[in-house]
C-alpha cells in the first residue's frame, strides 16, 4: 500500500507557458500533501504544504502566485508552474501523508522532471 503517483514524469515546455503536475494517492486518502523541488546534487526543498479543501501553506521564499497548488480531493493535489522560466527547470516531487493521529508517514511520488526551454 501507500502508493503515490505523479503525472507527467517528464515535461518540456517553452519559456512563458504554464505547466500542471498532478499528484495522486492511489490506495489511500491523503488529507495532506507536500510539494518539493530538488536541483541536481542538492537536498530536497519543501515548497508548500497542501491540506485538502484549504489553501496551501507556502515556505518562505516560494512565490505562491507562480506555483499554484490545489488540493481539491483526498486523493489529488496539483501544482501549476505559471509563466515558467529556465530557472524553474528542476525535479518536482510530491509526497502524501499516510495515516492519522500523530504517528504517520510520508510517501513520495516518483517525481516530475521539468525542463523549460
Partner 1 sequence: QKEVEQNSGPLSVPEGAIASLNCTYSDRGSQSFFWYRQYSGKSPELIMSIYSNGDKEDGRFTAQLNKASQYVSLLIRDSQPSDSATYLCAVRDQGAQKLVFGQGTRLTINP
Per CB under 8 A, residues contacting partner 1 are 32, 34, 43-44, 46, 49, 91, 93, 97, 102-111
Q: Report CA 82 to chain centroid distance, whole Å.
A: 14
Task: Return the number of the residue (76 or 82) whose C-beta is nearest partner 1.
Answer: 76
Minimal distance, residue 83 CB to partner 1, in Å: 26
Distances (CA, A) of 14 to 22, 58, 84, 92: 19, 25, 8, 17
Cell numbers linked to 17: 507557458
Minimal distance, residue 49 CB to partner 1, in Å: 6
Report which of 30, 110, 105, 111 is spatially closest to residue 72, judged by C-alpha positions. 30
Task: Return the number of the residue (44 or 82) whose C-beta is nearest partner 1.
Answer: 44
Task: Return the number of the residue (6 or 78) whose C-beta is nearest partner 1.
Answer: 6
Task: Return the number of the residue (19 or 47) whose C-beta is nearest partner 1.
Answer: 47
Check if the beta carbon of residue 117 is closer than 8 Å to that of residue 95: no
Check if the beta carbon of residue 25 is closer than 8 Å to that of residue 108: no
Minimal distance, residue 107 CB to partner 1, in Å: 6
Minimal distance, residue 19 CB to partner 1, in Å: 18
Amino acid at each position: 500500500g501507500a502508493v503515490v503517483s505523479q503525472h507527467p514524469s517528464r515535461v518540456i515546455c517553452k519559456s512563458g507557458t504554464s505547466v500542471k503536475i498532478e499528484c495522486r494517492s492511489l490506495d489511500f486518502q491523503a488529507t495532506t500533501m507536500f510539494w518539493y523541488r530538488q536541483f541536481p546534487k542538492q537536498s530536497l526543498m519543501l515548497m508548500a504544504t497542501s491540506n485538502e479543501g484549504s489553501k496551501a501553506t507556502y515556505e518562505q521564499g516560494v512565490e505562491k502566485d507562480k506555483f499554484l497548488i490545489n488540493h481539491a480531493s483526498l486523493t489529488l493535489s496539483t501544482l501549476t508552474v505559471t509563466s515558467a522560466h529556465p530557472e524553474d527547470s528542476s525535479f518536482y516531487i510530491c509526497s502524501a501523508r499516510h495515516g492519522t493521529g500523530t504517528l504517520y508517514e510520508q510517501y513520495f511520488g516518483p517525481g516530475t522532471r521539468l525542463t523549460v526551454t
